Structure 1
Amino acid sequence: MPPRLALTAAACLLAGSAAFAQRPPAPPHGPMPPPHGAIAFQAEMVATGRVQQWLINPNGEADGLLLSDGTQVAFPPHLSAAMMQMLRPGDTVQVSGWRAPNVPVVRAQTIGANGRSVTDQPPMPGMAPPPLRDPGTLVAMSAGGRIERLLYTDRGDVHGVLLADKTIVRFPPHIGAMYGAQLQPGAQLHARGWGTRGAQGTALEATSLGPTADTVREVFGGAGVPWGPRGAGPMPPAAPMMMPPPPAPAS
């Protein structure tokens, strides 16, 4: 994939991920509602534990925490700065929010640590949404190693992995579902894409995946899984993305 096309695709995925994470608005001055369709969610779920590491999105913003017991805590990235001012890995946190049955993710409303707390408040009427990061700040990256842990959305869909070196590889949930047989803890994974490196961690949005650097395949070609069963060798490359022809000039 040409760098400019890959960068555009990654930027679109990141924008889509941000939209996916937004909560429906709450009545002014009222409590934050659970996620849309969260009839099966456990309201006001409270989790307590020690922070093992930040969960960083490819823009370099924190949008979650990994606790030492394996619980993942999700919050919108606009809380990143406030969260990083309040706590650091090793601190003990108390989390209230919602959690779907059998999903190891708490969608946080309030997180408390060190005698302080941060609450996700709905935007005030007329308030402009936070600006998206300029895609030009993303850099081409690659990462590889053993998958240590799967990362989930608050609905239980796999949308990333944590590698043994603590690098985070993100991808859309439909990619996680498509490649689920290969994305397992203990398996080897190599990814190429666009992301950031910073003091709080490294994360990238994958545009290509494979078990090794020599067998990565683009994930946008629609050709199915990028590699075959163990021992079967790589699958054929994905078909190139075809752009529609330009419209005929008006007569």
Structure 2
Amino acid sequence: MHWIDPESLPVVKGAHERFVLNPHGEVDGFVMRAADEDVLVHTPPHMEAELTRHIKPGDVIGVHGVKPRGSALLAAVAVTPANGRRILDHGPDHDREHPKHDHHEIATEGTVRLSLFGPKGELRGALLTDGTVVRIGPKEAADVADLLAPGARLAVRGDGIETRFGRVIHAREAGKGLKSLAPLKHGKPGLKHEHGPKHEHGHKPKPKHKHKHNHA
């Protein structure tokens, strides 16, 4: 349960447009249109069932939330759908498991509509204009922040999931085009060059002591 009293926060109202997915294919937020602006709202994945049950595209909803410093994000404390039923964060269900989806490699490119952020304001990917959600770890996202900015051209290849709310790609490679993709390091052994062509980045390791005695 969130420790902040929602009544202590201002409410932002807007028309719900689409849900946003995390790398597991779970809903962890949505985009709404408020005062001619797109507003990215973050919600924890354990709120997915209630949110998707009570919110439909075009519904005018209210969000009590906090804005992390330096990010275009509203982290929801409470969401009030058009039916007036307030949805609160009651804390995670520890027995809850990630949904089962078919995973397959996807490569795509497009224009960034919105940068995506985590609940603390950390850059975590991008929403493309075609609705594709691209997710990247926070350290890797910081290294390619220019590719994740609104209006930027972005191409990615990675682990993809198709759901009834759209598709999400957990990117392993990124670039300005599909012909210029470079690996993103996720800190997981075996993923760096698992798919796609090899890329030469940085310096190859030099053989040890190979020329140690070759000088007169």
Structure 2 distance, partners of 1:169, 1:89, is 21
- 1:94-121 CA distance string (max 9 Å, x none): 1113222453222112111122221110
Instruction: Spell out, residue by residue over 1:87-146, the C-alpha distance to the aligned partner (whole angstroms, 9 max, x if none).
Output: 1121111111322245322211211112222111035xxx63412345x73222222111
Give 1:12's aligned residue.
none
SS at the partner of 1:79? Answer: helix
Letter matched to residue 119 of structure 1: L
Contact 1:59/1:138 (8 A) holds in 2: no
Q: Return the match for 2:94 from 128, 134, 142.
A: 128
Q: Which residue of 2 aligns with 1:196?
A: 161
Kept in 1: contact 2:161–2:169 (CA 8 A) = yes
Q: Which of these residues, 45, 48, 67, is aligned with residue 80 of structure 1?
A: 48
Normalised TM-score (structure 2): 0.76
Which has the larger share of helix?
Answer: 1
Trace 1:8-87 onto structure 2 (pairs within 5 A): 32-34=2-4, 44-68=9-33, 69-87=37-55
Q: Aligned with 1:181: secondary structure? A: helix
Structure 2 vs 1, CA of residues 75 and 219 (structure 1 numbering), >3 Å: closer, same or farther?
same
If you compute each CA radius of gyration, which structure gives the higher value, 1 or 2? 2
Match of 2:67 in 1: 99
Residues 192 and 207 in structure 1, CA contact (< 8 A), matched pair in contact too = yes
Percent identity over paired residues: 25
Match of 1:13 in 2: none
- CA-based RMSD: 2.5
Q: CA deviation at 1:195?
A: 2.4
- Counterpart of 2:87 in structure 1 is 118
How many Å separate the matches in 1 of 2:112 and 2:94? 38
Query: Which residue is equivalent to 1:186?
Result: 151
Q: Name the count of aligned residue pairs.
A: 186
Q: Secondary structure at the match of 2:179?
A: helix
Give the alignment of 1:165-176 within 5 angstroms.
Answer: 165-176=130-141
1:71 alignment partner, SS class: strand
Q: Which amino acid letter does the alignment assign opposite residue 107 of structure 1? A: A
Q: Distance in 2 between matches of 1:145 and 1:181?
A: 14
Q: How far did residue 165 of structure 1 move?
A: 0.8
Whether contact under 8 Å (1:159, 1:176) holds in the other structure is yes
CA contact (8 A) 2:64 2:78 kept: yes
Q: Point out where structure 2 has 5 or more consecutive residues left out of the alignment.
A: 188-198, 205-216
Read off the aligned partner of 1:206 and give its amino acid letter. Answer: A
Partner of 2:57: 89
> Which residue in the other structure is 2:185 paired with?
220
Mapped to 2, the partners of 1:76 and 1:201 lie a distance apart of 18
| Shift in CA distance, 207/71, structure 1 to aligned 2, threshold 3 Å | same
SS of 1:176 mapped into structure 2: helix
Q: Which has the higher strand share?
A: 2
Aligned to 1:205: 170
SS of 1:109's equivalent in the other structure is strand
> Mean alpha-carbon deviation: is it higher for 99-108 or for 54-63?
99-108
Structure 1 stretches of 4+ with a deviation exceeding 6 A read: none
- Structure 1: gaps (5+ residues): 1-25, 27-31, 35-42, 223-234, 241-251
- Letter in structure 2 aligned against 1:112: T
